[in-house]
């Protein structure tokens, strides 16, 4: 039995299929996606449909990415909150995703986790990062359709955190200064070794930190799509992007 954790797909369906082929999955494997299946890349609809199909054959857990969070918020606002919908900055085709995905596939996205712990390996899976002095016990497996942000507002930053300030507080993208650490540089491992995506590291292998591993190696930006394979030790399989589908935004 292997625990296999796959980095940010961002609609890179060709590379995902290539990676899944190379993994030679068996029915005892557990598959995890670290979030951001959608947006930026060539085929978000195809990526969700393909991962949903996989989930019918093999145990598959989704971690909620900031892009899924935004899409699900869009769906919610469309139904229940016209004012909030108007205020959303939507730069991608959520309408098409809404139209093309089945109810089952949307429900599957909603079953994503903010945090998921694989206790036998001491791993904590999350999309973005962990601020300092976190008050929630992140080993509780917080799930999007179960644990609302109203009840647990601290979860909101889990999909987004990159840099933190000297007090461990969240810093918005673009607001960071040179002396502010990337969260994983200072994370002490108190919730386990954190496996995360969100921040692209344009290199062939996942980026190692003292108590964290960044597995988004920027496939959509012309980098690699990585799978971290945890059995008795860590192994990686990486697939080189077929092309550069999007430019890194600063």
Which window, 19-27, 33-41, 143-151, 188-196, contacts Mn ion (CB under 5 A)?
A: 33-41
Minimum distance, C-beta of residue 224 to Mn ion, in the bound complex (Å): 16
Q: Which is nearer to Mn ion, 29 or 176 (CB)?
A: 176
Q: How far is the CB of 36 from Mn ion (least distance, A)?
A: 4
157 within 8 A of 170, measured Cβ to Cβ:
yes
- Best CA proximity match to 144, nearest among 68, 237, 43, 227: 68
Sign of CA dihedral 93, 95, 97, 100: negative
Please answer whether residues 19 and 225 qualify as being in contact, where contact means their C-beta atoms are separated by less than 8 angstroms: yes
Nearer to Mn ion, 64 or 138 (CB): 64
Number of residues that bind Mn ion (CB under 5 A): 4
Residues between 197 and 226 that touch Mn ion (CB under 5 A): 198
Nearer to Mn ion by C-beta: 66 or 226?
Answer: 66
How near is the Cβ of 231 to Mn ion at its closest, in Å?
27
Residue 36 binding Mn ion, by CB under 5 A:
yes
Min CB(164)–Mn ion separation in Å: 17
**Torsion of the alpha carbons at 11, 1, 205 and 134, rounded to the nearest 10:** 80
> Cβ 233 to Mn ion, closest distance in Å?
27
Which residue of 44, 55, 60, 66 would you call a contact of Mn ion, by CB under 5 A? 66
Choose between 198 and 207: whose C-beta lies nearer to Mn ion.
198
Binding flags for Mn ion, 141-160, as an x/- string (CB under 5 A) = --------------------
Residues of the shown chain interacting with Mn ion in the complex, contacts defined by CB under 5 A? 36, 65-66, 198
């Amino acid at each position: 039995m292997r625990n296999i954790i796959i980095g940010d797909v961002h609609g890179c369906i060709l590379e995902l299929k290539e990676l899944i082929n190379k993994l030679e999955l068996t029915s005892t494997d557990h598959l995890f996606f670290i979030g951001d299946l959608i947006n930026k890349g060539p085929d978000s609809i195809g990526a969700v449909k393909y991962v949903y199909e996989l989930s019918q054959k093999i145990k598959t857990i989704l971690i909620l990415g900031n892009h899924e969070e935004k899409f699900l918020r869009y769906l919610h606002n469309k139904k229940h909150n016209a004012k909030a919908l108007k205020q959303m900055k939507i730069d991608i085709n959520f309408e098409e995703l809404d139209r093309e995905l089945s109810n089952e596939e949307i429900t599957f996205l909603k079953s994503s986790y903010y945090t998921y712990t694989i206790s036998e390996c001491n791993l904590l899976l999350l999309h973005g990062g962990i601020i300092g002095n976190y008050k929630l016990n992140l080993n509780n497996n917080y799930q999007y359709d179960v644990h609302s942000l109203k009840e647990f507002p601290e979860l909101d930053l889990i999909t987004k955190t990159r840099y933190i300030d000297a007090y461990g507080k969240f810093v918005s993208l673009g607001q960071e200064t040179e002396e502010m650490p990337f969260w994983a540089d200072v994370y002490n491992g108190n919730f386990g070794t954190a496996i995360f995506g969100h921040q692209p590291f344009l290199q062939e292998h996942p980026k190692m930190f003292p108590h964290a591993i960044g597995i988004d190696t920027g496939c959509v930006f012309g980098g690699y799509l990585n799978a971290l394979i945890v059995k008795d030790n860590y192994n990686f399989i990486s697939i080189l992007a077929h092309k550069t589908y999007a430019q890194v935004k600063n």
